Structure formats: structure tokens, C-alpha cells
Structure 1
Amino acid sequence: MKIKYKLAASVAAFIFSQNVAAQQRFNEMTYSPSETTFRLNAPSKPTLRLYEAGRGGKAYKKVKLMPNGDNTWTATVKGDLKGKFYTFDIGRGETPGVFAKAVGCNGGRGAVIDMKETNPAGWENDRRVPTKSPADLVIYELHHRDFSIDPSSGLMHKGKYLALTEQKAIDHLKKLGVNAVHILPSFDFASVDESKPDVPQYNWGYDPLNYNVPEGSYSYDANLPTRRIMEFKQMVQALHKAGIRVILDVVYNHTFDLANSNFERTYPKAYYRYNADGTPSNGSGCGNETASERPLMHDYMLESMKYWVNEYHIDGFRVDLMGVHDIQTMNDIRRELNAIAPEIFVYGEGWSAGSCAYPHEKLAMKAAVPQMPGIAAFSDDIRDALRGPFSDDHKPGFLGGVTGLEESLKAGIAGMIDHPQVDYSKVNYSKKPYALEPTQMISYVSCHDDMCLVDRLKASIPEAEYDENELIRLNLLAQTAVFTSQGVPFMLAGEEMLRNKKGVHNSFNSPDSINHLDWNNLKTYPQVFKYYSGLINLRKAHPAFRMGRADLVRKHLEFLPVQDCLIAFRLKDHAGGDKWKNIYIILNANKELRTINIPKGQYTIVCANGEVNEAGLGEMEGGEVMVDGQSALILHD
């Protein structure tokens, strides 16, 4: 026992020392009123340049950094530099470094600030929202500009972080019932010119520039480095006060470009993957891919995510193209976050956008999720079973009356775990379970990176384009599958108001006229919001829909005999400790009425014909039960 204890202690000491070294490596600027120390990890001696402004003008001072350990260079400049700007240069072009925590307009220069001055009043009392299980989360994915830019929003801070501090925005989210907001990339990205705030510009933000600074175009003054930081924190603080978690979309798999990136200008070839012939690997589909398995990038990802957690109180991360990263790095991230707060949720895309210059079996693909406890992946299985394949916008799925997808939908409803009634040989993509626990599956039917649900239904089901009632029925049916599944439910902002993007699939740089939310739809289609809200709150009120553990799902989730384009299942015997003994969920995608047999008895209907009411919509007898076409029926005894 003593030997094991000493071994464990030595391992812990080694990990601690490695963490300290990583923290020092990326602590590139340390400010005090009397002096500021600059530090850079680079292969050759850097020159430090100091500037009066964040853009333009010449450096008023140049300083040579001196060696301070292996590939580490430092310089201390006396005096109070607060409000000044800086760059490093090893001869490959000026850069704010790889870990700038504050920058000037457009991110070309680092800023010397006192981070304590960026904290809003009461920030020291801000806390992450407690989470017992990821199964309790209801995730709402939004883009800052989409959410608030349209006049119909009635929000004052249009396109800004502060829109999410407004009472109307908070009230909308709370009434809908979501408890986690997934914000699209909000670090400093390259595609929007922050110096032209009055010129309409749009991008999703998947083009990283400075990973550890909030994007300036969502702030009121990108020229003032502290402003964007404080406003981001005010947003987090307001959402936390409302009981809503904040999940940050992180894009460590690639940079805006390679040659001019901060990584390459600081430590060439240390952060990226290359093919055998020396060309950059392109598993991201963006011209470059980072190398998470290499020490600098591995440590960078860990320190960056911990920084967002500690400095900005972030509650979770969505990892873009997680399949580009290696399994070990993702597990190390999970371990490091567990040491801070185990409830921090991590999920990602379990795929890449191309072939990576790294062994496939070592990458954090969806199939590798069993090797990554505590990390979840999006389920394209349930998504495409419901609405049709990602590869063909015009091909329908279950919702369009396509048979043969029932087993894929069953797998998604069970949370992609091993379940005795799911035949994975008939599942569309995953031929074996990929989740050890249902909380490792993100259940969804639409997200930013695709057609929104309305557009997809119109594109793949001709009748839905001309029959608004059918469009709404199918929309509601799709989300019923999502929110009654045992995975972690996820929805795209605006689906609750029947959002459309005029049929644009990849709207990453489309104008506001395509991407905006039309809040007038809340008045035009009040039944849609009411159904979404009722469905979400039904899930939150009943643990049967979110058991959170595979053993409980196998014990309490029972599928009824499948019919073409009809799935039915029972959550039985007070599943998850639910007050309702048995809950029946029937999803009928056929245009016509269907019947299904359930045990005789007296049941209360809580969802039928586009209405949800936990208190009950009426009573019915068991036996042969009729389910209207393109609708869901939920009842309990």
C-alpha cells in the first residue's frame, strides 16, 4: 500500500508540476502598477514593441527579451503600462502572442490592462449554476447577432453581448424553459472588421484569431480593451442570476489561416499537423488543422479552457470538430475541468471535415466516445433519421414518411446506449452503441450549421412548403422526439418561433435578412412557442424523460412494436423516481391516423394534436389507442 501511495503521490506531483509549467508558458503578460513582465515561449529571441494605440502609429519603444529557461524569453518594463499595447516579433511578423487576454481593435496587438477592473459589480459573488446531471440540461444555441438584431426583437442592445442582460431576453428564455445558452464562437475572430461597427457584417465566427479574448464586434467599443471583457462578464452574470448556464463554442481545431496565425508567428510548426510531404493537413476543411497531440497545442487547449472557466465562469464547452483532436487530450481536458467543477459540461462534433494526418483510431470521433467518459457527442443518427441526411437537403426522413429509419430513431431515443430492444445493425450510421451513458449523446434535429428545421422540412417534403399546418405539425413532432429522448436535448434559437433562413443551408456569412430571428412570429404562431415551452417543461418536471443513467434506461424504457413511420415507447414503473407510474409516448409521422395497443386502464392525456399540458388535456381508456397523423400522443396512468 505504501508503494502504491508513493507512486500515486509522485504521479500527482508530476501532473502538478506540468500544469504549473503550462500556466507559466502561456502567461505572456503580467501587469502591476510599478512594472509589467512579458514572457514568450518561442524558438528564437523575440522583440517586444510597445504602442500607444491598438492600431496604427509606430512603436514608441522596442525591448529585446532575454532567455529565461528552455525556449522561454522574458523582459520586465518598469513603470505603469496600463492602457498601452504590445506585440512580439521573432522575425515572422508581429503578434500579440498566442495567449493574449486583452487586445486592441481587430486583435493585432495585445493590451496591458488590470483584469480586476473588468469585473462588473458583484462579480465576486457570481457562481456557475449547479447541475446534478447533464440530463437536466436543455441547451439553446444562439448567435448574438441573430438573436437581437431585428427591430422586432424589441431589444435595445442589438447584436451585442448585453442583449442577453435585458429582461425581455431573459424572460423569453425562462418562459421557453431552456436552462443553458450555447453561444456561437465569441472569442476574437478574424472575419469581422471591428473598426466599422456601423457597417453590417456577419459571420458565425469559426475563424479564430485570439482564443482567449471576447470578440469585439459584439461589444460597444472594440477600441477599449476592457469594454468587451466587462460586457461579456455582464452577460454571463445576468444569465447566471436567471438560473441559465453559459456554454462557449470553442474552435481549437484550426485557425483563420496558418502562415499569419499567432501560433505560427510565435513558434513555427509547433501547433499544426502536417502531411508526410510537408504540406499542412486539412482535417478541418479550412486549410489547416492543429495538432492537439503535440505538447504546445495540448497544453494550450487545457489552459485556454480553464482560463474561460476561471476568469469568465463558463459552465460548459461545445468543441468544434472534436474529431480533429486526439482522445488523450479530450480526456485530459475532462480531468482538468473535473478538478475545478465536475458539472462543467463538455460535448462536441464527433467527426472531422476531412482526413487528418493522425491515426484515425486515436481521434475523438463519435465512435470513440466510450473511451471519453464525461464527454458527449452530437447524434447525427437521430437528427438524420428524423429529417433526412445531411448530404442531401431534398431527401426526407421519418418526418417525410420514409420507412426503415425507425431503429435509428429508437437508438436516439434511448440515448445511443446499448439497449436490448435496439438493433444497431439497422441504425443509419452507428452500427454499435457509442454512448456508455445517455448523457454522452446530444439529441437534436437542427443547429446553426445546416438548414433550420422549417427550411429543411420545406426542402424535403413538398406538401410542407405549401401547407403551413402540415409544416407546423411536423416541426412539433420532430421536437417531441428530441425532448422525450434520454440524451441531452439541444435546439437552435428561433425554432420556437418557426424561424426560417430563406432556404440557405450554409449561412455563415449571409446578411441579417437571412439569419435574423423574426420575433413577430411569436404573435403569428403562438401555438408553436406554447408547444415548445410545454414540452420542455414537461421534460423538466418529470425525471422519467431524463434518467441520466444507462442502467435505468435499460430498466425503465420499453419500446412497443414498431410500425412504419411510427415509434412508441413506455417509461415504466415510476422511471427515474417519477410520480407517474407509466408514461406512453407515441410518435406518428404518417399522414393518416394510426392505432396502437396499450394495456387497459384509465390514462391522462398530456400531449395531443399540437398541445401540451402537464395538468392534462383529458382522459382516455387504454386498449386500442388512436393517434392522429403527423402528431405525438403522450399519456400516463
Structure 2
Amino acid sequence: MGVLIMLSINRRFQAFLDKMNEIAVIMPKEFDSENKTFFIKIDQNHEALSIVEKIDIGKQIKYVCSLSNPLSFGKTYIISDEDGLETDLQIGAVIRSDEFDKKFYYDGNDLGANYTKEKTEWKVWAPTATIVKLRIYQSDGTQVDNFHMIRCEKGTWSITLDGDFEGYYYTFLACINLVWNEAVDPYARAVSINGEYGIIIDQSLTNVPIIIPPALNQKTDTIIYEVHVRDFSIHENSGMKNKGQYDAWTELNTKNSQGDSTGISYLKELGVTHIELLPVNDFEEVDEQKPFEAYNWGYNPLHYFAPEGSYSAAPENPYKRIIELKTLIQSLHKQNLRVIIDVVFNHVYSKENSSFEKLLPGYYFRHDENGMPSNGTGVGNDLASERLMVKKFIADCVKYWMNEFDIDGFRFDLMGILDVKTMNEVQKEVLEIKEDAILLGEGWDLLTPLPYVEKAIIPNAHKLPTISFFNDQFRDVIKGSTFSVHDRGFVYENLDTLEQMKALITGSPTMFHEPHQSINYVESHDNHTMWDRFLTFADAESEEIRKARHRLATSIVLLSQGIPFLHGGQEFFRTKNGVENSYNSPDEINHLNWDERSQQKENVEYIKGLIKLRKLHGGFRLSSQELINKHVYFNDDPHLLSYEMENVGAYGPWERIVVIHHPQCNKSYQFKLPGNKGWKQIVSPSSILLDQPIDVDNKIEIREIGTYVFCKN
């Protein structure tokens, strides 16, 4: 780094810039006096500070001092007292003020490394730094040189170097509060193995031909299937060669040893519309050089713009993982499957070691009223999405993934940590790029210091009208509370939930203004799989009955108004052997078991049939609450959950549809279908009868646990 002239960091007292015009001096009592005076050295002149408040804080005294004029940033200032004691002025809480945010908001689109063969320009935002350098490395990690960057507008630092720097590694060195830190570029689009360095690449060399799937007419046409990149192919009987890797998603016509389809051919046959991938950006806790020695879901974000290397066939090659992931996405597009990626903008893996904290300490993360980092996420830090440059970072990242990787939507992990304004701005940017893109997230109310009215949570869904939310009431009322394995849900014969069920089936109108905002699900990567929960809840129940209850729950997901969401493998009774939180469990716990795909083929075909039914008739996916209120009517029977869709011939092949969800074992009911004869049964608890509907009288017996669907013109 060369020879730097700066103060030793052996501070006898401390001073912090906490507001644009306010300095807090923390002085040990041993140096206190009645006539305490402080000065600030500006351009060789010593100006006296006005002490406006003196506070006893135990072994120290806090002096709140005012400045006559705001200071310029990017300089080191010296604070002294009447006895000549000196300390440097550190950047304090001012960085979390609105004034600071507005003063240094940079709206340019050139942050990061901008490469051409003739030259490369680097730009980084570090408004409180006094010195910033670019450090260049060879690809073997050998340092080449350091280059002083120039301070530019709005707290940015820039440098342009002539020559072709493709393939070189780089970092930024920033001196803040007299401390030097080396940081990987937060905007790095390519990184070295395990994310130790940013890498200069020629983005044009990663281009993959774009395939555009047919547009969906409305959001409720969406059917989401969630899966982890590695889980998808790692099983020994997956029939895929590139196990655990991006490339497995490009293999067509794969089969397991029983001769049944696997891989993306299976997904195409299943009939879902969107594949939701757990995080694919660069994350921690899996060594990319030895990827199969550890496992992780990927909610430990390290670099947001660069793909994860542990799924790559050649993680040491910065181009390879980018091309592989782009090819994966287009491989799915070729099968008319859209891609949603899971993004984690609520926290970072390690606050202290993050590039955010190294380039502007304290800005990117929320702090409580005592100045301590908040922990609403439960992992030690909350990103402060409401701050302008955090908001910009999120929007820039989302736009990059859409423009560069052709993503079709985003699932926001712990979206309740984020603020309403940011989410609406992100949605606006997304829809300008792709009008049928979808944004969804977890709208849980978490303990983060953000006003309730500003949180992107379910109670504020009306402020986010185009964004969808995971409906935890749908999940818990149907199968029983996620947080109590002893709680009895509807499918376990809790008829006290009937009124709640009616609301859930019709798009949860008390929670959401429109049905597309409700992501209807009973199982996801989090918590127990539904099979494991049922086994814990009623282990003495026969497997046949357990399967019937499981099938009933999934049927309700697929036939209710809103957007259905399936956890990968749910259709063949996925188990994780009782592990509730499998985020770092081995492959034998997390894999999609392709043997079960064959062993439970009957249920797979049943779920496939329900998906076909949903897609066949728009009555199951009405686009507005107004249409739901117009067409859907419930039976008043207190023992049987049944409803009719009337006058829905404009949406599909039948004018009238009756649906019955029956959860009770060993209890049968006589049900009278409306009107005269002419009804046909197209779904029974064990069979999909779309290809061979059964004529039925208007009086039918409801006996077996499961879903019944009847239609009539």
C-alpha cells in the first residue's frame, strides 16, 4: 500500500460526527474540567466548538458540540481540547441521517468495473473514505499494483486504466476513520473461486441466445414449483449426468432406472409454469473447490451480482458459471417454464466482513435507538432498504439479473424486513423490463426498527398491490400450525376452520385486495415437509390415510383462487427424514428422491391432473376479487366444505363446477348437486377423470377423504 502518513489509532479520547452540524466528544473523566473547551482544525485554523450539552455516561463524559458550518467529507479532521490533547474526528451516526443520504445519493449506472479492450473504468461509492485505492492482482492472486482512485461526485471514487485488463482480479482499499480495509466490489459481476476477488470480464463473451416463453394472460395463471439447484439432480437415480450442477438442468429426456421421466422433462410433463430456484448468487459456507463436502440452501449472501460457483463444473473459471446459469434459464424457457430466483436482500452472511461495512461502516445496516445493529432477521444484521443507496443497490441488482440473465421473477426472502417504498420501486423497474414478471415474498412482521406502516408485510399488502405474499394462514389452517406439531389443521378434521377455509379458498379477501397477492402453499423448503409433519402429528395413522390427507391438502392448493405454490417433490410425498431445518443437512436429507417419483407415480399423476384441470378452466384462477364474488358460492352445510362456481362458461368448458373438500375419516354424507341431472364427476379423492368423466345423479355420497369435483353445462 506504500507509505501512508496518518495518526496512530491510540486515541486518548474520541470524537464522532453524529449529525451534519454536531460532534459528540467522549472524554474520560480524568481529562474533564469545569472550563472544558474543544477545537476543530480546519485548513490549519483552529475553530472553537460550541458545547450544547454535557452528559455523564459512567466513566466518561459525553459533550455534544455544534459546528458553525458543515464539514466536507473525504478529509481527516483533528479535534483538540484546551490542554492540547488531540484525536481524529471519526464518522459517526451522521451516515444514518436523511441529510447524509440525500447529499451523497448517486444515481449513476456505472458503479463497478466497466470493461472494454482499450480501457477499464472502476467506480465505487465510499463517501466517508479519505483515501481509496484500486488493487490489481494476477489470476493466481499475485498482487500487481495499487492505484490511487480520484474522489468524484456524490462520494464516488473512480479510476480509468488504459489497456486490456480482462481476466485480472481486483479489490478496493478504503481508509475510513484511519482504518484500512480491503473489500471486494459490491457490484462485482464475476468473482474468483469462493468470492475472494472481483474479476474483470468481457460480458459479451457470456451471451446465450434468448428464448421467450409464451406470455401468461394474468398472474393467477402462475403455478410455482420450488427447488434447489443441487437437490434437483444429486440423487443417485436422477438419471442426470451432471449431478448437483447447473448443467443437469440442460439434460433432456432423462429417466430413472424404473424408466420414468426425471429432470426438466419431468417438470415439463408436470405442467407447472414457473420454477423457483433457491439462491443462485454467490453465497458462503460451501467451499467451491470441494463443493460436495458441505451443503447449504444459499441464504448466506456474499456477492449479489455474481452466480454461485459450487454448482459449476469449473468454479475457477469466472465465465463458466455465468454461461452455465444463463443456459439453465434458457433451457427451462425452451420448455415454456419461467424462472424465479430467490434473493436475500434482508441480511448478509457476516456484517463485519461484508464489503458494505468495509466501504461505509454503519450505513447499510439498521441500528436500534441505542446505536446497536438490529436483528429482525435472526442472523445478526438487517439491511436498511430504506436508505437511498441500499434501495439503489437492490434495484440495480434486480435489473441486472433481469437484463443479463433473463429472469422472470423474484422471491424476496424475509421481505418484511424491507420497506414498502423500495419494494414498489423495484416492482416498477421489473415491470418496465418484463411486464409479466412476478415478485413474491415472505411478508412476515419482524422486529426491525422500521415503522410498522412502512414494512413490506401482509397487513400492508394494499400498499403493494402488484406484489404477492406467501399466505401463512393458508398453510397453517390447512395442515396445522408450522410452529406447533400438535395443532390440528383442516385436513385433520378440524371443522372449526370451515369459515377460515372459505376465505382462503376465495383468495383471502380479508388479507389481500386481489387474488394474485395470495401465494397458496402448504409446504416449502422451510420447516418440516408436509409428510414429515403428518408423521409426527399422527404416527399411528395408516400410510393410506396419511397419503389421502396429504393429497387433499395439495388439491386445495391447486384449486383455490390465487397463485399455487408446490415444494419440489411434494407431489411424491417428499420427506427429509424428520429434519425440520435442513439448510445445511447432507444430500441424503435434501435430495429429490427420484425413486419416490416412480414409487408414488399414482399420486404424481393425480397432481399432474389437478394442474391440468386448473389450466383447463379459468374458473379456478379468476383474476379479481370482483369475479370471485360474482361466481363462487359456498354451501352452508356445517360438516362439509363445498362450493359452486356458477356461470363460468366464459372461462372454460363448463358452465357450472362444484368442488368438495372432505377431511373426515369414516364419515359419509349425502350431497345434493344443484338442479337436475347432467352432472359429471371429473375428480375423485383417488383419480382424475378429465379424459373419462363419470355421469352422476344429483344425489351423491361423499365418503372418502379427499377432493371431489363435478361439472355441468
Normalising by structure 1, we get a TM-score of 0.91
Give the equivalent residue in structure 2 for 1:460.
537
1:449-485: CA deviation from partner (whole Å, max 9, x where unpaired):
1111111111122344xx2211211111111100110
Cα separation, 1, equivalents of 2:236 and 2:145: 47
* SS state at 2:122 partner: strand
Give the equivalent residue in structure 2 for 1:470.
545
* SS state at 2:293 partner: coil
Give the equivalent residue in structure 2 for 1:429.
none
Structure 1, 152-161 or 580-589: larger mean CA deviation: 152-161
Flag the structure with larger Rg. Answer: 2
Contact 2:106-2:154 at 8 Å conserved across structures: no
In the TM superposition, residue 489 of structure 1 has moved relative to its aligned partner by 0.4
* SS state at 2:661 partner: strand
* SS state at 2:482 partner: coil
Contact 1:543-1:575 at 8 Å conserved across structures: no
Alignment partner of 2:661 out of 572, 576, 587: 587
Structure 1 portions without partners, runs of 5+:
1-17, 418-432
In the TM superposition, residue 613 of structure 1 has moved relative to its aligned partner by 2.5
Give the equivalent residue in structure 2 for 1:174.
268
**Map 1:489-508 → 2, pairs under 5 A:** 489-508=564-583
* SS state at 1:152 partner: coil
1:56-92: CA deviation from partner (whole Å, max 9, x where unpaired):
6441111111112121111111211111110012145
**Map 1:499-518 → 2, pairs under 5 A:** 499-518=574-593
Amino acid at match of 2:149: L
Give the equivalent residue in structure 2 for 1:162.
247
Matched, 1:139 2:233: no
Give the equivalent residue in structure 2 for 1:114.
202
Contact 2:246-2:328 at 8 Å conserved across structures: yes
Alignment partner of 1:378 out of 452, 470, 473: 470
1:576-600: CA deviation from partner (whole Å, max 9, x where unpaired):
5222011111000000223333213
In the TM superposition, residue 619 of structure 1 has moved relative to its aligned partner by 1.2
1:19-46: CA deviation from partner (whole Å, max 9, x where unpaired):
xx85636621000111111111102131
Cα separation, 2, equivalents of 1:146 and 1:562: 44
In the TM superposition, residue 445 of structure 1 has moved relative to its aligned partner by 0.6
Instruction: Evaluate the alpha carbon distance shift between residue 388 and residue 455 of structure 1 in structure 2; reply closer, same or farther with a 3 A threshold.
Output: same
Matched, 1:95 2:183: yes
Cα separation, 2, equivalents of 1:296 and 1:70: 11
1:155-189: CA deviation from partner (whole Å, max 9, x where unpaired):
11111112111113221001111110000011101
Matched, 1:65 2:153: no
Cα separation, 2, equivalents of 1:189 and 1:576: 48
In the TM superposition, residue 196 of structure 1 has moved relative to its aligned partner by 1.4
- Greater RCO (CA < 8 Å, at least 6 residues apart): 1
Amino acid at match of 1:184: L
Cα separation, 2, equivalents of 1:165 and 1:278: 49
Cα separation, 2, equivalents of 1:359 and 1:85: 42
Structure 1, 576-585 or 283-292: larger mean CA deviation: 576-585
Give the equivalent residue in structure 2 for 1:404.
496
Cα separation, 1, equivalents of 2:143 and 2:405: 31
Cα separation, 2, equivalents of 1:618 and 1:200: 54
Alignment partner of 2:134 out of 45, 48, 53: 48
Cα separation, 2, equivalents of 1:461 and 1:276: 46
Give the equivalent residue in structure 2 for 1:126.
211
Alignment partner of 1:201 out of 294, 297, 300: 294
Contact 1:412-1:487 at 8 Å conserved across structures: no
Cα separation, 1, equivalents of 2:107 and 2:268: 38
In the TM superposition, residue 523 of structure 1 has moved relative to its aligned partner by 2.0
In the TM superposition, residue 347 of structure 1 has moved relative to its aligned partner by 0.7
Normalising by structure 2, we get a TM-score of 0.81
In the TM superposition, residue 562 of structure 1 has moved relative to its aligned partner by 4.0
Contact 1:280-1:288 at 8 Å conserved across structures: yes
Amino acid at match of 1:151: E
Give the equivalent residue in structure 2 for 1:249.
342
Matched, 1:35 2:101: no
Matched, 1:364 2:479: no
Q: Give 4+ residue runs of structure 1 displaced > 4 Å after superposition.
A: none
Give the equivalent residue in structure 1 for 2:49.
none
* SS state at 1:158 partner: coil
Contact 2:552-2:685 at 8 Å conserved across structures: no
Superposed CA RMSD: 1.6
Instruction: Evaluate the alpha carbon distance shift between residue 22 and residue 438 of structure 1 in structure 2; reply closer, same or farther with a 3 A threshold.
Output: farther
Contact 1:25-1:41 at 8 Å conserved across structures: no
Give the structure with the larger helix fraction.
Answer: 1
Identity of aligned residues (%): 35
Cα separation, 1, equivalents of 2:279 and 2:380: 19
Instruction: Evaluate the alpha carbon distance shift between residue 112 and residue 60 of structure 1 in structure 2; reply closer, same or farther with a 3 A threshold.
Output: same
1:239-295: CA deviation from partner (whole Å, max 9, x where unpaired):
111100000101100000111111111222221100011110111111000111111
* SS state at 1:270 partner: coil
Cα separation, 2, equivalents of 1:22 and 1:503: 49
Instruction: Evaluate the alpha carbon distance shift between residue 160 and residue 618 of structure 1 in structure 2; reply closer, same or farther with a 3 A threshold.
Output: same
Cα separation, 2, equivalents of 1:468 and 1:26: 59
Alignment partner of 2:327 out of 222, 234, 254: 234
* SS state at 2:183 partner: coil
Structure 2 portions without partners, runs of 5+:
1-101, 255-262
Cα separation, 1, equivalents of 2:404 and 2:658: 45
Contact 2:111-2:125 at 8 Å conserved across structures: no
Matched, 1:183 2:293: no
Matched, 1:619 2:704: no
Give the equivalent residue in structure 1 for 2:648.
574
Amino acid at match of 2:606: Y
Instruction: Evaluate the alpha carbon distance shift between residue 488 and residue 270 of structure 1 in structure 2; reply closer, same or farther with a 3 A threshold.
Output: same
Cα separation, 2, equivalents of 1:575 and 1:261: 56
Alignment partner of 2:679 out of 593, 596, 603: 603
Cα separation, 2, equivalents of 1:540 and 1:463: 37
**How many pairs does the alignment contain?**
592
* SS state at 1:289 partner: coil
Matched, 1:326 2:410: no
Matched, 1:530 2:605: yes
Amino acid at match of 2:279: P
Give the equivalent residue in structure 2 for 1:315.
408
Instruction: Evaluate the alpha carbon distance shift between residue 562 and residue 372 of structure 1 in structure 2; reply closer, same or farther with a 3 A threshold.
Output: farther
Give the structure with the larger strand fraction.
Answer: 2
Cα separation, 2, equivalents of 1:341 and 1:387: 35
In the TM superposition, residue 129 of structure 1 has moved relative to its aligned partner by 4.7
Cα separation, 2, equivalents of 1:331 and 1:609: 42
